[in-house]
Structure 1
Amino acid sequence: MKIIRGLPEKEREYKNPILTLGNFDGVHLGHQEIFKRVVKRAKEIEGTSIAITFDPHPLKILAPEKCPSLITNFKEKAEILESFQIDILFSIPFTREFSSLDADDFIKKIVVDKIGPKELFIGYDFAFGKGREGDTSVLKGLGESLGFKVTVVKPIRVGEKTVSSTLIRNLIKEGNVKEASVYLGRPYSISGEVIKGHGRGKGLGFPTANINFQNELIPSEGVYIGEILFGEERHKSLINVGTNPTFGEDKLNVEVFILDFGRDIYGEFLKVFFQEKIRGEIRFKTPEQLIVQMQKDLKQARDFFHNRRS
């Protein structure tokens, strides 16, 4: 997949473009359905599958106080889009000047003049242009007058719930990463460099990797079963999100105890996958009480992975 920051330098340089556009925060099952249909249609007409997104998120510019914690950063979003075989990803810098484009100008000057799509796939709740004045009906009207087809992809429902970024974001905040993974189509993950901590875990018999996370959205405080990706290797892990109240700290940390792992990985980059929360954060009276609980957590994690395998 080719990633282009900004708009195309040449107008209409792509063969039979099939396009989608949106913020795609979380790249959840609903977004994935759109990407699948874009790629399928592009292959049918020997065309080019293209996605347009915006960076930063528009609310970070227009109303920072209303902008939610994002589920995925741009790098993560791009990696997931590439896995769906999108040919080209445009990341358009979102500015106040850009936000002043009305719906008609956005479609004419950005979508039609620059790319010239044969067909545009959008989500059912898509809105665009100044003040989000353009909706799916407006877009269909513009498509008829400007010569491109508009396909509105219906929402994806799982059981009684409609998949959305808001639903997933709230579940992650609550620590319900297990249910969130159903709507994401994968476990929720964060990533960052391993940095030096206080070294208490090693003294307790549970050496942990302290993650200097770059993500905005962190699951609620507590202990989770999960995995880490180190290079190309995946390792079973216990993850602690919290402030280490037993030792009187108040800074939020993400620490990972990697099962059956003894290597020095300071300075390395890890991706941490959250699979299930097993308990909330507890303030213990003594380090010995903490050790007893950590041993119970470890047994629960080993049972989890054993049952998943069998």
Structure 2
Amino acid sequence: MYYWNDLAEVPSDIGPTVVTIGNFDGVHLGHQHVLSRLVKAAREHDAAAVAVSFDPHPAAVHRPGNAPVMIMGPADRTEALAATGLDGLLMVHYDLELASLSAEEFVRKYLTDGLHAVAVVLGHDARFGRGNTGDLDTMRELGAALGFEVIAVDDFDALPEGPEDSRGRRCSSTWIREALAAGDVRTAARLLGRTHRMRGVVVHGAARGRELGFPTANLAPESTGLIPADGVYAGWLVGADGTRWPAAISVGSNPTFIGVSRQVEAHVIDRPAEAVEDFDLYGQCVGVEFVERLRGMVAYTGPEALIEQMRLDVARTRDVLSTESPAAG
């Protein structure tokens, strides 16, 4: 997949293309539904399949104090978009100047003049142009005037056989954020089509886990990906080379100890005894994937009670992951 940071980087002979636009935070099943239709349409038109996205998220520009936390970091989003079969991704810098473009100005500059689009694929909730005044009907009008086809894609019902209150609900980034805020990483995974992942550099912590017999890989505070609710999770630690290890993951401030800031740390389970001392991930960029929440955070009476609980957490992690595929999230 070609990646362009600016319209000026797009080759002048790029056309024809079939294009879609969106933030694609999470690249969830709803996004994948639209992108699958995009790729199919591009092949039918003998054209390149191109997605136009924005960085930063528009809400970070218009509502900087109330913008949603991104579900995934830029590297994971690009990787997930590439996996859909896209030929190109144009990441447009979002600022007030871009936001001031009318719907027609945006379409002319980016879709027709810039990308030579012969078709545009959109979901029914798509909005674009100044004040989000452009919608699917607007795009159809512009398509008729400027000579491109508009393909509408219906909403995607991710959990048709799920809980009654979820049936018929549109798959959305908002729903995924709600699930992660509740620690419901199972629902988040069903909406994403893969396990939720954080990514970051392993840094030195207070070494309490090592002292207790459960050494952990601690993610740096600036790691990317939405942090789920505090608690202990079964999941996977993914090394920089793609190696995957089963892990018990702790999220929170560890209330048994005073003055510990919120952190994400993963204890790899079932390593051979001879490999324990050689297992050094400091400074490496790793992924942490959340499969199932085992429990919330609890303050224990002392280290002995905490050690016993951690033994139970490891046993439950082993049980949960024994039925899970270690395939990449």
TM-score past 0.5 threshold: yes
Aligned equivalent of 1:128: 128
Cα distance in 1 between the residues matched to 2:313 and 2:238: 21
Aligned equivalent of 1:222: 231
Aligned equivalent of 1:303: 319
Kindly state the Cα deviation for residue 250 of structure 1 after the two structures are TM-superposed: 4.2
Aligned equivalent of 2:163: none
Deviations 1:197-219 (A, max 9, x none): 11111111101111115225210
Work out whether 1:190 is the aligned partner of 2:198.
yes
2:200 match: secondary structure: strand
Aligned equivalent of 1:239: 249
Q: 1:4-153 maps to which residues of 2 (within 5 A)?
A: 4-9=4-9, 13-153=13-153
Deviations 1:251-277 (A, max 9, x none): 110010011232111111110100100
Aligned equivalent of 1:200: 208
Kindly state the Cα deviation for residue 136 of structure 1 after the two structures are TM-superposed: 0.8
Q: Which residue type is aligned with residue 112 of structure 2?
A: V
Q: 1:266-285 maps to which residues of 2 (within 5 A)?
A: 266-285=282-301
Kindly state the Cα deviation for residue 113 of structure 1 after the two structures are TM-superposed: 1.1
2:143 match: secondary structure: helix
- 8 Å CA contact 2:219–2:264 kept in 1: the answer is yes
In structure 1, runs of 5+ residues without a counterpart are none
TM-score (norm 2): 0.91
Deviations 1:74-121 (A, max 9, x none): 221111011112111100001111111011111112211111211111
Kindly state the Cα deviation for residue 237 of structure 1 after the two structures are TM-superposed: 0.6
Cα distance in 2 between the residues matched to 1:243 and 1:111: 47
Q: What is the number of equivalent residue pairs in this alignment?
A: 309
Kindly state the Cα deviation for residue 36 of structure 1 after the two structures are TM-superposed: 1.1
1:111 match: secondary structure: helix
Q: Which residue type is aligned with residue 214 of structure 2?
A: F
Kindly state the Cα deviation for residue 16 of structure 1 after the two structures are TM-superposed: 2.2
- 8 Å CA contact 2:205–2:218 kept in 1: the answer is yes
- 8 Å CA contact 1:122–1:153 kept in 2: the answer is yes
- 8 Å CA contact 2:38–2:49 kept in 1: the answer is yes
In structure 2, runs of 5+ residues without a counterpart are 161-166
1:293 match: secondary structure: helix
Cα distance in 1 between the residues matched to 2:184 and 2:9: 44
- 8 Å CA contact 2:16–2:115 kept in 1: the answer is no
Cα distance in 2 between the residues matched to 1:287 and 1:217: 29
TM-score (norm 1): 0.96
Is the strand fraction higher in 1 or 2?
Answer: 1
Cα distance in 2 between the residues matched to 1:200 and 1:250: 11
Kindly state the Cα deviation for residue 10 of structure 1 after the two structures are TM-superposed: 6.2
- 8 Å CA contact 2:185–2:196 kept in 1: the answer is yes
